[in-house]
Amino acid sequence: GAVVSQHPSWVICKSGTSVKIECRSLDFQATTMFWYRQFPKQSLMLMATSNEGSKATYEQGVEKDKFLINHASLTLSTLTVTSAHPEDSSFYICSARQGASPQYFGPGTRLTVL
């Protein structure tokens, strides 16, 4: 149980394009989903928290117009990196939680912007 998937697992795009990453909880209803970013050899940095049906809460320093988050259902959240640039290249990881359960993490999406 408690499986979280992400799609795609990796993506390469050209500078200026937008990229959408999906996060799904496969066997439970995720009341809260989280999006993290991880640079090579660094820890995870929380970008935003989203509750189903509500606007996402962004961490300080994270551009909400740059990283659009939608949590339309209890099993799906999406992160769209708009007008991507090389500095947005990173490993993006989502996690999902039902109530007070531990957060279960997706396998991550590696984004490379050329």
Partner 1 sequence: AQKVTQAQTEISVVEKEDVTLDCVYETRDTTYYLFWYKQPPSGELVFLIRRNSFDEQNEISGRYSWNFQKSTSSFNFTITASQVVDSAVYFCVFSGGSNYKLTFGKGTLLTVNP
- Interface residue list for partner 1 (CB under 8 A): 34, 42-44, 46, 49, 91, 93, 95, 100, 102-108, 110
Between 13 and 46, whose beta carbon lies closer to partner 1? 46
Q: C-beta of 41: minimal distance to partner 1 in Å?
A: 8
Q: C-beta of 51: minimal distance to partner 1 in Å?
A: 10
Q: C-beta of 107: minimal distance to partner 1 in Å?
A: 4
CA angle 18, 93, 77 (to 5 degrees): 65
Between 15 and 112, whose beta carbon lies closer to partner 1? 112
Residue partners of 4: CB distance under 8 A and separation at least 6: 23, 24, 25, 26, 30, 94, 95, 96, 104, 105, 106, 107
Distance separating alpha carbons of residues 75 and 81, to the nearest angstrom: 20
Between 9 and 15, whose beta carbon lies closer to partner 1? 9
Between 52 and 82, whose beta carbon lies closer to partner 1? 52
Distance separating alpha carbons of residues 20 and 66, to the nearest angstrom: 12
